[in-house]
Amino acid sequence: MNVMSPPPAQGAASASRPGMQGRVSAGKGKLTETIRGLWPYIWPSDRADLRRRIVWATVLLFVAKLVTVGVPFTFKWVTDALVPPGPNGPPTSIPIASLAAAPIILTLIYGVARSLMALLTQWRDAMFATVSMHAVRRLAFEVFEHMHRLSLRFHLERKTGGLTRVLERGRNGIETIVRMVMLTGFPTVVEFALILGILLYQFDWRYAAVTVAMIAAYMFYTTKATEWRIAIRRTMNESDTDANTKAIDSLLNYETVKYFGSEEREASRYDKSMERYERASVKAYISLAILNAGQAVIFTIGLTVCMVMVVSGIRTGRHTVGDLVMINAMLIQLYQPLNFMGMVYREIKQAVIDIEALFDILDRSPEIADRPGAKPLAVPSGDLRFEDVHFAYVPERPILRGVTFEVPSGKTVAIVGPSGAGKSTLSRLLFRFYEPQSGRITIDGQDIADVTQKSLRAAIGMVPQDTVLFNDTIGYNVRYGRWEASEEEVHKAAALAQIDVFIKSLPEGYETSVGERGLKLSGGEKQRVAIARTILKGPPILVLDEATSALDSFTEKDIQDALERISRGRTTLVIAHRLSTVINADEIIVLDKGVIAERGPHAELLARDGLYAALWNRQREADEAREKLERTRAEEGLVGKVGEVV
């Protein structure tokens, strides 16, 4: 009779699956701590239906394992029914003389048992799928939400590609932990216990001892080999993350790459990361082959020893041929979950690292948080005041040094000054992306540090210098200002921003996609979309940070008129580089090296002949030079045409 051989080792595909760059060492990860952290998501207190599914899945698990360990018995009975015992052998389990059809019936029972085993296992997995995927979704949602609560500093210090990989691999890690521990690890332990009991009952203690020794050696070898592979896996993960971040960064800066003809350099940088990933992946495959080969050898030795003992028992009449088939089938059946245990250890080890990276983000407290008892901001008039504000991104480089000014309700105050003077920092402090080291900012006498961030940001409209749009439609990006706005309100806001006519000229109108970061639109069109969504928001306080910087002179005049119209009756803080856009401001504040150098209306500041006047004259000279150059080019073009005619 041919004896079955062990199936090929599973898990080879896992070598090419990139994991998360481990933020903690492999030895530091604690499975029990990870399970404890995941338990509220696996056993949610607010979902009785999911808890019932877990209970029924557990019941199905035990029934399926009882059927599983019963399958080798049916195999033994079929064999004994076909092979009569020798003259000195023990009686068969099924006397053939009493039932001629026994082999066929027993074979049918064997088939039914195997089918039932598969059905129960798949039923259990299907029932538990809702539980596991709910846990994945709920935790991923909390992490994503928490990422938005973290400070601007956190996101500026991180690469977006690497951060999304943490989220992606964390999700996969949660699914792996739930699937491996709940659907593979625990069921396998139950099956081990049942098989050892059967070996003691059906054979004797020697068979159980050989099996236990084989399992111990198998797990010891798997553990040691996996520890070796973890270091290789980590190198592979680091290279994968590095290649991914380089690719995202390069594609986001597609136009810049084209401007400088750097396609080959970008491809080379990406290929170097992929080369490191390739080397690490090859090592991972080789180490996996060594691991699988060692596991197969250890298991085969244990299987062979048990079968030799049975063959010896058959010769002495203590066992039947069916016993040989049974122990072969039982141990081969054991090989699959045993091999799964090796894969479980490998996958759980990596999943713990991935989930801990996710938990590291959840454990990170936001730099800016609402104070206990913070109340919503009330804006009866919108009076804005900066009081002796000091701020530095790093202590060694102060940005603002005791800035004090007021934007009265319904008035417009402009902030101008040289590059690096701290103009845009004022808007970041106003939005509470950062906290001042000293001093305070108030709105209608309320310190913004004492109110909720949500109510604060709801009261302020922002048109930034660098407008970035979502990769969606124009309508989506305009409606982002106020989701509940009607179509008429959206169109009215677009009209005020001088972009409604352009949108209606497009074949798809407001359903036109703007592309990644809005790259399908020109700089001026993007800026006007940003202005439209701020108009739609309708806040009592406006912040215009270089709001017309991307517009040509003709369009700038139109947009400036629109901004002046929507600014009426609203407290408006204008951060400007082009001084021509702020000449009508109620007050102009000139910042220089973090302090207020000058302040007053446009005409008064020019009369002082100070820093503002110098900036104004420099811009006028630059504008005149540009206009002169344009006239010269136009005249040269005209002369060329005349010469050609002559």
At 561-616, the pLDDT tens digits run: 767 777 777 888 988 877 877 888 889 999 988 889 889 998 888 888 888 888 88
Structure confidence at residue 17 (pLDDT): 30
Percent of the chain with pLDDT over 90: 5
Residues 591, 403 contacting (CB under 8 angstroms):
yes
Between CA 323 and CA 319 the distance in angstroms is 6
Span of 163-167, 435-439, 458-462, 596-600 with lowest mean pLDDT? 163-167
Residues 1, 325 contacting (CB under 8 angstroms):
yes
DSSP output for 224-290: HHHHHHHHHHHHHHHHHHHHHHHHHHHHHTHHHHHHTT-HHHHHHHHHHHHHHHHHHHHHHHHHHHH
Please, which pLDDT band fits residue 389 given cuts at 50, 70 and 90? Answer: very high
- Tally the C-alpha atoms within 13 A of residue 581's C-alpha that lie toward its C-beta: 30
Asked if the model's pLDDT at residue 264 lies above 80, the reply is yes
Instruction: Report the side by side order of strands in the sheet with 587-592.
Output: 460-463, 541-545, 571-575, 412-416, 587-592, 595-600
93-105 average pLDDT score? 53
Closest C-alpha to 499, from 461, 463, 546:
463
Q: In angstroms, how far is the first alpha carbon of the chain from the final one? A: 106
205-227 average pLDDT score? 85
517-536 burial by CB neighbour count: b if 16+ within 10 A, else e? bbeebeebbbbbbbbbbbbb
Q: Which residue has the higher pLDDT, 113 or 587?
A: 587
Q: Which residue has the higher pLDDT, 150 or 644?
A: 150
Please, which pLDDT band fits residue 1 given cuts at 50, 70 and 90? Answer: very low
595 three-class SS: strand
Q: Which residue has the higher pLDDT, 1 or 354?
A: 354
What DSSP element (H or E) covers 130?
helix 102-149
112-123 average pLDDT score? 82
Pairing type for strands 460-463 and 541-545 reads parallel
Q: Which two tokens stand for residue 71?
A: 């399958």
Between CA 474 and CA 459 the distance in angstroms is 24
Residues 265, 231 contacting (CB under 8 angstroms):
no
Between CA 417 and CA 164 the distance in angstroms is 38
Domains of the chain: 22-363 (1.20.1560.10), 374-459+540-646 (3.40.50.300), 465-538 (3.40.50.300)
Neighbours of 318 (CB within 10 A): 15
597 three-class SS: strand
Structure confidence at residue 442 (pLDDT): 93
Whether this prediction's pTM lies above 0.85 is answered by no
Span of 106-115, 450-459, 624-633 with lowest mean pLDDT? 624-633
Please, which pLDDT band fits residue 533 given cuts at 50, 70 and 90? Answer: confident
Residue in this structure with the two tokens 């929507």, named with its chain if needed: 566
Asked if the model's pLDDT at residue 149 lies above 80, the reply is no
185-214 burial by CB neighbour count: b if 16+ within 10 A, else e? bebbebbbebbbebbeebbeeebbebbeeb
Closest C-alpha to 71, from 195, 166, 165:
195
Instruction: Give the Å distances, CA to CA, from 534 to 242, 383, 511, 537.
Output: 37, 19, 19, 5
Q: Please tell me the total number of residues recorded for the chain in this structure.
A: 646
Residue in this structure with the two tokens 């003992």, named with its chain if needed: 309
Instruction: Give the Å distances, CA to CA, from 272 to 243, 325, 583.
Output: 8, 54, 53
Asked if the model's pLDDT at residue 4 lies above 50, the reply is no
Q: Which residue has the higher pLDDT, 36 or 25?
A: 36
Q: Which residue has the higher pLDDT, 436 or 176?
A: 436
Structure confidence at residue 208 (pLDDT): 85
Strands (E), 56-198: none
Q: Which two tokens stand for residue 79?
A: 């064999």
Structure confidence at residue 24 (pLDDT): 36
Asked if the model's pLDDT at residue 385 lies above 90, the reply is yes
3-state secondary structure 352-411: HHHHHHHHHHHHCCCCCCCCCCCECCCCCCCCEEEEEEEEEEECCEEEEEEEEEEECCCC
Rounded to 10 deg, the angle between the 321-363 and 205-252 helix axes is 40
Q: Which DSSP state fits 83?
A: S
Q: Which residue has the higher pLDDT, 13 or 294?
A: 294
Q: Which DSSP state fits 480?
A: T
